[in-house]
Amino acid sequence: MAALRVAPARPAPVRPAPARAPPRRSACSSCSASIQLDSSSPPRSCHFRNARSAISSLDGAAGCAAAAAFVARDLPTAVTRFGDRRGRGAEVGFADDLAGDFAVGAFEVRVDDFFDAFPARRPSARAARAPDSLFVRFFATDSSCAEAYRLTRCRAAAVRLRAVRLDSARQAALGLLCVGFEGDALDERTASLLRDGTAGVVLFARNFVDRAQVASLCADIRGAAAGRAVIIAVDHEGGRVQRFRGTGFTDLPSARSAGSAGDAAAVRRIAEIAARELRAVGITMDFAPVLDVDSNPANPVIGDRSYSTEPRVVAELGAEFIDALQSNGIAACGKHFPGHGDTVLDSHLDLPRLPHDRARLDAVELPPFRAAIAAGVASIMTAHVVFEALDPGVPATMSRAVIDGLLRRELGFDGVIVSDDLDMKAIADRFEVGEAAVRATDAGCDLLLCCRSQANRDRALEALGKGIVDGLLDRSRVEQSLARVAALAARYQSP
């Protein structure tokens, strides 16, 4: 069995600039496949700390997991990490004074060689077979610059090693986040996130002084995004959940008040007023309407935010609100899927659980969401509620069965799926926020809300980026979410 080999760094002078040499080629000792080590590629400027790197395009052959070449400049230490898909692994590497020089390290590894080198990681005889894929991460110990490669056990004549840059993974992670901030002016940390590509922001009463101020704030948010379409969202339901009040904003009635007569035309007028006033200041998305059925008088959080105790009325009026809002240039967001109306706990403070069987859900909770989808709702927000009949013990926001299975596949919703705020105690008191962010994305959420804690926002961003690099999040799934979010932002972009 061939052992894991790590070639030492081989520095070569940078000045005078050498003539462009043809790519060197090496062979995998396990399968004699010819591997190109393209050290002549020009360095690319990294997003972080001006570190530079160039990585070759690599092919392997049957029996060979992968091989890679790493070219780095101005990095005092380079390390290679080998691990499995869950991030378990070990590190080997080389260190040298690379200032002003190029150093080339060639790395070759087979799946079995990995376990020979690190026997503690080898599965027991009774355990599952060795993983079908490993990852290799190249990084500098003093820099965020990195390259990560997916290593797949060969099943065909050839495999390709696919690169994921950490800076691109961070940018993708930013595109999954919609964040909140404190104060009535855009702070530098949030502005930096917008410059780097975060999907958008959520505004609250804490961000509002008056109509002129919030219009200026929205303009600053768009300016920080540097011409990129960005989501600027707010909860503007009417009644007790209306963040902007005062001159320039109508005090809208609660959903219960508006829906008590079952007057669809009245609900439409309310939505049109909301859309005009929000769009005038630069808002692009309203987290409304509430599509929960008011089926439990003891519910502490929904109540008069719902149109009715009758699913049919909620469905009809919710669809009317959605159509009017979106026809006037504001993206609607139906909430809270698959239903928060029958809980006795407030998910801001605790994690509600509902025992209802599927027949009950089909009769009461789901009809308003079906109607919203038929009306073309742009987005749907998940509930931090456990539905035992759908996915025992797992909050809907983090449940693949609920999000990908029921909402996406069964109900056929192809718009943006938004998580409720991950800072709410239903999630934050039970899960590390980074884990919650990764699990929600893996379940099918496209846009994650982190509305209050900057520390939680940073942890979610870090975990999402690491999940993309390490393969815990499928990159194609992430790309689908990014495309949905970007399409929504572009469609409702404020003039």
Give the catalytic positions in this structure.
348, 420
What residue spans of 124-235 are helical by DSSP H?
Answer: 166-174, 188-196, 211-224
Q: Which residues pair with 379 in a beta bridge?
A: 333, 416
Residues written for the chain: 495
Rounded distance between C-alpha atoms, residue 316 and residue 293, angstroms: 12
The answer to whether residues 190 and 197 touch, using CB atoms and an 8 Å cutoff, is no
Helix (H, G, I), strand (E, B) or coil at 203: strand
Helix (H, G, I), strand (E, B) or coil at 95: strand
CA dihedral 136, 137, 138, 139 (to 10 degrees): -160
β-strands 24-27, 34-37: how paired?
antiparallel
Q: Which residues pair with 337 in a beta bridge?
A: 382
Those residues with Cβ within 8 angstroms of residue 493's Cβ, 6 or more apart along the chain or in another chain? 229, 284
| 289 preceded by a cis bond (ω within 30 of 0) | yes
What residue spans of 282-414 are helical by DSSP H?
Answer: 311-327, 358-360, 367-374, 400
DSSP conformational letter for 402: I
